[in-house]
Amino acid sequence: MPYEKLAISTETPVLSWANHELSSDETKMAKNVASLPFVFKHVALMPDVHLGKGALVGSVIATKDAIMPAAVGVDIGCFTGDTLIPLVDGKSYPIAELAKSQQEVITYSCTETGKIVAAKAIARLTRHNAELVKVILDNGEEIKCTPDHQFMLRDGSYQQASELKTGTSLMPFYSRIERDGYTLIQQNYSHAYNHKVVEVIALEEKQDVYCLAVPEYGNFALTAGVFVHNCGMMAIKTPFTAEQLEGKLKKIRLDIEAAIPVGFEENKEVEKAVSNWQGWQDFKDLHSGVQRLESKAIKQLGSLGGGKRLPLTVVIQ
């Protein structure tokens, strides 16, 4: 696959395999990383590269005589605290209020087939004083979020807020309360149902931001009428004391690794939803050296690959 050498003034070059033009913020972040004195040979940008915290998500950075733990970047997309989230009780709540309660809630998600379902979720404060953009929709709704938060397009794929264009069609969420108090949800069986982007505006203000973790489906609905990607990273505070954990940390880690394959391991059984994913049809268009790895890729979906480490945090009381 051919690559492009970015036209930026750094001692270490940036080689891009990205299948899209980088935004100004992404180019600036690549330049910042490539300017570090311990970067070895070059910075590589993978096809799915996008804005992250500290480094571009999807970038590969080799270092010499130095260790940079977060060199692959961290997804950070989130929403301002007043963003309304619809729950199955028929009401909408500010996401900051849901985060403060620290309780599991039931919201709405969109499956791979486009069906709207109920889903368990937890809201959390994810970052302080974050940069923001405002996404204006054709239904008059306005959404304030970080530039890198991903919105679900009408075809089920995702695109960052900063890259949304006027007229971009988004996966819609239509609901209304009936006279008897029941919530009516409209399924998106027709592609005539959508919401379109009117404008995306960069804001000068900064705010604390929040997001939902939705483990089962990876996305959630906003009361504004669209679906967005969820926050994929979380920390869980255990109720254990130091005395209870003494000598057991290794077993806890092994139990987690047994449930979630890490390193070069893979799932022993493949769920039907994974094997039925339509995206596997595109494997035939990949490099010949990758095509033969399709069966392995199917088994490794939902695992932590060989280039990552299990982010296990234990809070000692």
Distance from C-alpha of 44 to C-alpha of 59, rounded to nearest angstrom: 6
DSSP string, the chain: ---EE-----SS-EEE--SSPPPHHHHHHHHHHHTSTTEEEEEEEEEEEE--SSS-EEEEEEESS---TTTT------EETT-EEE-TTS-EEEHHHHHHHT--EEEEEE-TTS-EEEEEEEEEEEEEEEEEEEEEETTS-EEEE-TTPEEEBTTS-EEEGGG--TT-EE-B-EEEE-TTSPEEEE---STT--EEEEEEEEEEEEEEEEEEE-TTTSEEE-TTSBEEEPP----------HHHHTTTHHHHHHHHHHHS--TT---SS--HHHHT-GGGGGGGGS-HHHHTTHHHHHHHTTS--TT----------
Domains annotated on the chain, with CATH: 4-63 (no CATH), 79-229 (2.170.16.10), 242-300 (no CATH)
Q: What is the pLDDT of residues 174-216, one digit of tens each?
A: 988 877 777 788 888 777 778 999 999 999 999 999 999 887 8
Query: In angstroms, what CA-CA distances link 312 with 54, 69, 213, 259, 263?
Result: 20, 14, 16, 13, 14
The token duo for 47 is: 């096809």
In this predicted structure, what is the pLDDT of residue 169? 94
C-alpha to C-alpha distance for 112 and 225, rounded to whole angstroms: 18
Task: Please work out, in degrees rounded to the nearest 5, the angle formed at the alpha carbon of residue 262 by the alpha carbons of 77 and 215.
Answer: 40
pLDDT of residue 146: 92
pLDDT score for 172:
94
pLDDT computed for residue 201 by the predictor: 96
Instruction: Supply the pTM of this predicted model.
Output: 0.57
Residues of the chain with pLDDT under 50: 233-235, 306-317
